[in-house]
Amino acid sequence: MTDSDITGVDDGRYPERATIRDVAARAGVSIGTASKALNDNGRLKQETRDKVIAAAQALGFRPNAMAQSLHRAKSMTVGILSTDSFGRFTFPIVEALEERLAEHGIAVFMCNATDDPAREKQHLDQLLGKRIDGLLVTARRMDIRPAIAVPGNSMPVIYVFSQADDADALCLVPDDYGGAVLAVEHLIAGGRKRIAHLTGPERFEAVTLRHSGYADALARAGLAEIAGYYRNGKWSEASGREAVIALFDGKSETPDALFCGNDQIARGATDALRELGLKVPQDVAVVGFDNWDVMALAARPPLTSVDMNLRALGQAAGDRLIAMIAGERLRGVERLPCSLVVRQSSDSLPNS
């Protein structure tokens, strides 16, 4: 007796997939009739449709997705081009985007270009070769970048947590200005009056917008922006520590609150305050930006932080992409609202 004579022996090969021809033969109809029944088109008796569907189910028949996509001129896939090699900002966006697109039967191909134009072009060519229905471009920074060149504007492109140098592009980004206003108004409501702003390099658009929100929130509360309280540095804990030393070492008047441009700066700032013998939040309240759990929850005390609502950004991107694939024309920069997650680092002063 040979292996081929034994029923149920696994010889390591995948079973052959049933074809439309197999379905037609089992149902006793032509291939054309089987195709019409499975695609729910053409004029057929309900009895015939039911017979074909039953045959397909019995055989475990799965339609050829590529053939179906060619028939309807849609691949039911979209591409994602990212330059965020760490995934800190991209992953929550993509996760929410995938969930929203999956509700419509759309799959995702993701490529990481790591700020390499040649690699980005290679990925783009591969995605276009797959006949994707749309493209989402994202990054680890929201600064303006060259627009993606899609031949003949043949498909929709959306920039998320990224912006293109094209007035006709659709760009979805967090509202940095509004997030800064939330942070500073929260500190003012807690009784703080001397609020410093420690942030990243001025060349970033986010830095400019957050500084404007900080300054406007102070002005609306009748508080002056104190000279030397706006400090630029790197997006790092070391930068936060250095800024605190510069602000507090030997100064007669020091801040009673710090609004930091990201959670890493805030984490470094709280460490430096503790080393100087100052208590957070009793002596100095601290608010960060990003609401990155790794930093915010591990800080001592846990850090109040502005949340950019990246999942909401991904969901919105999914909605816009579906609308554009359906033919809707969308353009411009949409700034989606941030929220403030309050923790112990910014507790109010007594009687505030």
- DSSP β-bridge partners for residue 109: 79
Position 140 scores a pLDDT of 77
Taking Cα atoms as reference points, which of 188, 343, 186 lies closest to residue 270? Answer: 343
- DSSP β-bridge partners for residue 244: none
Distance (Å, rounded) from C-alpha 337 to C-alpha 346? 21
Distance (Å, rounded) from C-alpha 314 to C-alpha 297? 24
Query: For residue 180, is it left (φ>0), alpha (ψ between -120 and 50) or beta?
Result: alpha
User: What number of H helices and E strands is found in the chain?
Assistant: 12, 14
Position 152 scores a pLDDT of 66
Distance (Å, rounded) from C-alpha 172 to C-alpha 126? 25
Domains of the chain: 3-63 (1.10.260.40), 75-174+310-336 (3.40.50.2300), 176-309+341-346 (3.40.50.2300)
Contact 294, 267 (CB under 8 A): no
Position 352 scores a pLDDT of 60
- Three-class secondary structure of residue 170 per DSSP: strand
Contacts of 24 (CB under 8 A, 6+ apart): 30, 31, 33, 34, 52
Written as six digits, the tokens of 250 are: 């030997």
Task: Calculate Rg over the CA atoms of the chain.
Answer: 28
Distance (Å, rounded) from C-alpha 41 to C-alpha 64? 17
Instruction: State the helix-helix crossing angle for 237-248 and 263-275, rounded to 10 degrees.
Output: 50
Taking Cα atoms as reference points, which of 104, 113, 116 lies closest to residue 78? Answer: 104
Position 111 scores a pLDDT of 86
Residue by residue, pLDDT tens for the chain (352 residues) are: 333 333 334 444 434 677 888 889 999 998 778 878 887 766 788 899 899 889 988 888 766 554 454 445 567 889 999 887 667 788 899 999 999 888 888 888 888 877 788 888 888 888 888 889 899 999 877 778 889 888 766 689 999 999 999 999 999 999 999 999 999 999 999 999 999 999 999 999 999 999 999 999 999 999 989 999 999 999 999 999 999 999 998 777 899 999 999 999 999 999 999 999 999 999 999 999 999 999 999 999 999 999 999 999 999 999 999 898 888 899 999 999 999 999 999 998 877 6
Position 39 scores a pLDDT of 73
Contacts of 224 (CB under 8 A, 6+ apart): 218
- Three-class secondary structure of residue 231 per DSSP: strand
pTM: 0.78
Written as six digits, the tokens of 36 are: 């019409």
Strands 339-341 and 304-307: antiparallel
Written as six digits, the tokens of 318 are: 């999914």
Strand order in the sheet with 77-82: 107-112, 77-82, 134-138, 157-160, 170-174, 332-336
Strands 170-174 and 157-160: parallel
Which residue matches tokens 């590529």?
A: 66
Position 149 scores a pLDDT of 81
Distance (Å, rounded) from C-alpha 92 to C-alpha 76? 22
